[in-house]
Each structure stands twice: as C-alpha cells, then as structure tokens.
Amino acid sequence: MLKEKYGIKPEMDGILFLIGVQELGTGRQEYTKEQKQDLMHIAICTILAPSGYYALEGYDDEGWPHFTQLKALPENNMMEQENFLRDHVIMYFDQFNQPNF
C-alpha cells in the first residue's frame, strides 16, 4: 500500500516513524534525533496495544502520549522480530483502512 502511494518500499524504521507522527498528530516538521526515537516508540506501543502489550496511560503537557507495558514482548531473533512488527503494522493499517500520510 505504501509502495503504491509513494513509489518506494519503505523500511520498518520509516514506517514506524510515520505511524508515530500520525499518532502524535503534529504533522510534518523538523524533529530532533531524540524526538524521532520517541515517535518510533509511540508507534511500537500503538501497534502492539491491540494485542495487549501496551496500554495508553495518558498525555503529557505537550500532547505526547505515554504508555504502560502490560506484558513482556516475545523473545525473537531479528527476523522474527521484524515479522512480528510487520504483522502488527498491517493490522494497524487494516484498522484505519489506509494511512493518512
């Protein structure tokens, strides 16, 4: 779906970054390296929340969401971890039919 829309096949880090931006709701802007890492963390928590790994705790004064980890993530090798995240990204996009970025 992303390849069709943008003409490239994005890597997982890029997809997670875009999900984080979408979830934060701030749109396109310059982000620091730390903010980019935080955005990817938001994305991971968001996509894994429906499977019971995280729950939204609330938002800070700047509007950034904070999550609580509810259960341990499965111990996977690198390939299994990538597939685990990919499956959850697909479920995330299925939930909204398509991304808004």
- Given a contact cutoff of 8 angstroms between Cβ atoms, the answer to whether 2 and 15 are in contact is yes
Per DSSP, which regions of the chain are E strands? 54-59, 65-69
pLDDT, tens only, 82-91: 999 999 998 9
Bridge partners (DSSP) listed for residue 85: none
> Tens of pLDDT along 9-22?
678 998 999 899 99
Kindly report the pTM of this predicted structure: 0.84
**Angle of the 12-24 helix axis to the 78-96 helix axis, nearest 10:** 40
Residue the block writes with tokens 């999550």: 67
Domain residue extents for the chain: 2-96
